[in-house]
Structure 1
Amino acid sequence: MKLYRSEKGIILEQDGRFVLSKHSDWDALVNQPNLHTVLQKEFESADTLVEKPEKLLAPLGTQEVWAAGVTYFRSREARMEESKESGAAVFYSKVYEAERPELFFKSTPSRVAEPGGKVLIRRDSKWNVPEPELTLFINSQHEIAGYTIGNDMSSRDIEGENPLYLPQAKCYDRSAAIGPCLWVPKSPIDPDAKINMSIERNWKTVFSGQISINQMKRKHGELVEFLTREMSFPKGAYLMTGTCLVPDNNFTLQVGDIIHIDIEGIGRLSNIVDMRS
């Protein structure tokens, strides 16, 4: 079952059929126990089909967005490479092997970019990349209730200069995008599910890559346990689970680039790159 937010309300999708939900409060709906069963019953009781909305909103209400780092080997290598001149490479190697994961705050809801909307690159950075990430929805009971696609925009030169600059490299307006939907399956996502990312520039593909989520070193439940160990989330939260596809070091995003991220079972999240003048 897929759950969309639109200007017309909350939309449910199953097998290519769409219905308008009777619920108007996103936070209340997604935090209901046994969410898949709740949505299934509502879908089956609906008597009118609707068209898929052309314009989608980000699938969140008042949820914060958090992120995990260095959860894939390739991410470990990339972080070590960008920070070798600062002498901080050893910290990324250590956190990859450590029991405690790297977790950081990514975005408030108001700063999140919607599907099809603009993501920003920083004016004071010369090395900007997208990071495609499977994103967990954690409900108020600290359960993984669904999944979406996340784009963790990052300024690699800023983080590489000094790890203490990570909040500036990661957290700014429209540095996060999630969507297109909240996918609420009956069972956990297939560990062999593929993540694909492509970047278009002037109608040409300048980057493409694919990886399976089973390449992640950490378990989803492990990340959730650390995030919720000393924090409550009364309305739930989103957790990006780490990057897996990293463009080469000579690549940086440009204004006008189009980023496509696909995850099996969820769909496609597309965003256009922009920068404030």
Structure 2
Amino acid sequence: MISSFATGCFIGRAWSPDVDGPVVVTIRDGRLYDITAKGCATVRDILELEAPADFVRNAQGRDLGSLESLLSLSEPDGSRLHLLAPIDFQAIKACGVTFARSMIERVIEERAAGNPERAANIREKVSQIIGASLRDLRAGSEDAQRVKSALIEEGLWSQYLEVGIGPDAEVFTKSQIMSSVGAGAAVGLHPISKWNNPEPEIVLAVDSEGRVKGATLGNDVNLRDVEGRSALLLGKAKDNNASCSIGPFIRLFDETYTIDDVRNAELDLRVEGKDGFVLLGKSSMKEISRDPLDLVAQTRGAHHQYPDGFVLFLGTLFAPVEDRGAPGQGFTHKVGDVVTISNDKLGALVNTVKLATECPPWVFGASHLMRNLASRNLL
């Protein structure tokens, strides 16, 4: 999807063996340019500018080579140039249960207590009662409150329905600062999980004042059985080695791309297994139950500040129910699956599934970045 980068202004990060550390990059005429500069040596610094797209377009850069050849690389390693997640010091936050249809799947996970064999029967029952009535609900509305009352009477009220259609969004910490992987890297599943799936999402890049400066793609790798056993296991289900992927680049807001493009975005998902299994899916931002800017406001405000900004996963419509193995057991990942999340204006985020224990360990954190930048006289 090189054509996705033909218009617009993009910013990202790459690992450069020349400096034994990360560089800030942009795309120009199909080639990658290093625009790292003193005072703007991090993506965080650039996103804090009033007009980051103007800065990126005018920044002096060093040609690093063809973007196409970089995107076609196999799993990255430190001895060669490769893409990183396009963020550095930003907190990594995520919103859950922001689509009515995927909300039903969260209820099913809870009722199944993490057992995929029970999910099919529960799905049929729950969908008969609440499926159609939730599709067009706006979270926090009077109609949503009436549906809540009806569900309580049916004995089907759930904590997932509360955050799905109630006034308060679910906002959680997806991963740690500097821990996300980027395009081409492996994504990790905790080895205790036997029922899991990708979650294709739009990810907003937000500065310290709560202003959205751009958007990218993300895979909020999900362990359905772990969270299904108990919502108190959300941290274990969501935050593991290589369990968060973001990229390939942030598309900065400008005259060619705005928050309305986010609101109307269509995401495509393809999972291709070594066993020949192929899963195709979609997620449409047009069906989100909460506006993206409302989710930003519920994350950052007088109640919580982020001095280095944050990125925010907006949730997904996608919840796979196709059987991969035995009938009634639905979809789950297998090691070696290649996951491609794509959008015509943001490119494609491609990762290969491994166990978290077999992915490269996370060893380069904020302290390492600061020391590296200092050694390069960039601070």
TM normalised by structure 1 equals 0.91
TM-aligned CA distance change 1:73 to 1:14, over 3 Å: farther
Matching residue within 268, 274, 277 for 1:202:
274
Max Rg structure: 2
Taking the aligned partners of 2:291 and 2:277, their CA distance within structure 1 comes to: 32
Residues 79 and 89, structure 1, Cα contact 8 Å, conserved in 2? no
In 2, the alpha carbon distance for the partners of 1:254 and 1:88 equals 32
Equivalent position to 1:254, from 334, 356, 368: 334
Seen in structure 2, the aligned counterparts of structure 1 residues 132 and 88 have a Cα distance that, compared at 3 Å, is farther
Give 2:259's match in structure 1, choosing from 168, 183, 188.
188
Q: Does 1:35 find its partner at 2:52? A: yes
> Which of 170, 174, 179 lines up with 2:238 in the alignment?
170
TM-fit CA distance, 1:130: 0.9
Counterpart of 2:340, as a letter, is H
Structure with greater proportional strand content: 1
Out of 243, 264, 277, the residue aligned to residue 316 of structure 2 is: 243
What code does the residue aligned with 2:98 have? T
CA distance in 1 between counterparts of 2:234 and 2:61 reads 49
Contact 2:271/2:339, CA 8 A, preserved across alignment: yes
Under a length normalisation based on structure 2, what TM-score does the superposition of the two structures give? 0.68
Question: What is the RMSD computed on CA atoms of the aligned residues?
Answer: 2.1
Q: Which residue of 2 aligns with 1:65?
A: 92
Q: Say if 1:63 and 1:108, in contact at 8 Å, map to a contact too.
A: no
Match 1:84 to one of 111, 124, 141: 111
Q: Which residue of 2 aligns with 1:75?
A: 102
Tell me, yes or no, if structure 1 residue 19 matches structure 2 residue 33: yes
Q: Which residue pairs with 1:158 in the alignment?
A: 226
Report what 2:288 is aligned to.
216
Structure 1 residues not aligned, in runs of 5+ = none
Q: CA deviation at 1:48?
A: 6.7
| Residue in structure 2 matched with residue 4 of structure 1 by the alignment | 12
Query: Which amino acid is 2:56 matched to?
Result: L
**Are the counterparts in 2 of residues 180 and 269 from structure 1 also a CA contact under 8 Å?**
yes
The amino acid across from 1:237 in the alignment is F
Q: Residues 66-145 of structure 1: matches in 2 within 5 Å?
A: 66-86=93-113, 90-145=158-213
Task: Give the letter for the 1:108 counterpart.
Answer: Q
- Measure how far apart 1:22 and its partner are: 4.4
* Identical residues among aligned pairs (%): 28
Q: Which amino acid aligns with 1:36?
A: A
Equivalent-residue separation in structure 2 for 1:147 and 1:90 (angstroms): 31
